[in-house]
Amino acid sequence: MMLLDETHFAALKSRLRIKAFADKLSEMCEDDSYDGLSFEEKMIILIETEVNSRDDKRILANYKKAGFASPAACMEDIIYMPGRSLDRDRMERLTRCDYIRQADHLVIISESGSGKSFLAQALGNAACRSLFEVRYTRHADMCMELNVARTGGAVDYHRAMLDFISPALLIIDDFFTTPISDQNVIDTFEIVEARVDKGSMILASIIEPEEWHLRISTKTMADSLVDRIVQRAKFIDLRGPNMRKHLAQDTIEKS
């Protein structure tokens, strides 16, 4: 039997923002299978229900904020095959997101089509599930966004920079794959510098870090930028077949 009338109960549920807790309480009051539980056992169920509901909402919000190009990318769909140089145990460890808690970085290097973007976003997906805020972008898109924000003045530019500085995990795809301006090199440096010891990054690229120097006109800036990344980075050298061709062929064979 409910101790509160329905109107009062609904008002409290709304004010306290405990919808899942309240809905579960209503269910328990109407289901005699809960009668044998102690007060403490009932409270644990109610609290866990509310916490799980809030976590689910936060995960969904993280997905939306991340801006993944391939939202369905997930660690469960990674293809492990001979010659692909992907270790299942290592991937499972990365799924636990300890590197994010330690503010370390991942650098994924692979040829075009080998699956670096999918892997980067799958790791981002795992981070969202672990309740970390994630931002995904391509390097060229990040630079374009900052260029547009810069034309709007200091406030717009600062806000745009914070969008890349503040998430627990920043994923930059196609890192230095295409040339960028000196100003955008400075932007990239400032983002990397602001995240030192505070936030993790996943950088996916088709070129090795020593080649990033070739895209930066000033040696001092190049050394500073690359050193700040490499000294905290774990590397994934992704080799093997072209996954686009492999998946296309697999689709043809199954059709």
pLDDT in tens, 51-80: 777 878 888 999 999 999 999 999 999 988
For residues 108 and 238, give the distance between their C-alpha atoms in angstroms, rounded to a whole number. 7
User: E strands, the chain, where?
Assistant: 105-110, 134-138, 169-173, 200-205, 233-238
Q: Assign 2 a pLDDT band (cuts: 50, 70, 90).
A: very low
Amino acid at 26: S
* Averaged pLDDT for residues 125-149: 97
- Cα–Cα separations (whole angstroms), residue 238 to 118, 176, 178, 208: 12, 17, 20, 12
Whether the predicted pLDDT of 50 surpasses 70: yes
Give φ, ψ of 85 to 5 degrees. Answer: 55, 35
Residue 65 has a pLDDT of 94
Domain boundaries 67-254, corresponding CATH code: 3.40.50.300
Residue 249 has a pLDDT of 44
* Averaged pLDDT for residues 164-193: 95
Residue 160 has a pLDDT of 97
Q: How many residues does this entry show for the chain?
A: 255
Structure tokens at 193: 């510098």
Whether the predicted pLDDT of 30 surpasses 90: no
Whether the predicted pLDDT of 15 surpasses 50: yes
Structure tokens at 79: 């293809």
Q: Assign 113 a pLDDT band (cuts: 50, 70, 90).
A: confident
Higher pLDDT, 76 or 84: 76
Locate CATH 3.40.50.300 in the chain. 67-254
For residues 134 and 59, give the distance between their C-alpha atoms in angstroms, rounded to a whole number. 10
Whether the predicted pLDDT of 32 surpasses 60: yes
Helix (H) or strand (E) holding 23: helix 19-30
Whether the predicted pLDDT of 3 surpasses 60: no
Contacts 24+ apart (CB under 8 A), 80-89: 81/240, 81/241, 83/239, 83/240, 83/241, 84/238, 84/239, 84/240, 84/241, 85/237, 85/238, 85/239, 85/240, 86/119, 86/236, 86/238, 86/240
Residue 7 has a pLDDT of 66
Structure tokens at 71: 């939202």
* Averaged pLDDT for residues 121-125: 97
Q: Assign 251 a pLDDT band (cuts: 50, 70, 90).
A: very low
The pTM of the full predicted model, rounded to 2 decimals, is 0.80
For residues 112 and 252, give the distance between their C-alpha atoms in angstroms, rounded to a whole number. 21
Minimum mean pLDDT range among 19-28, 65-74, 150-159, 183-192: 19-28
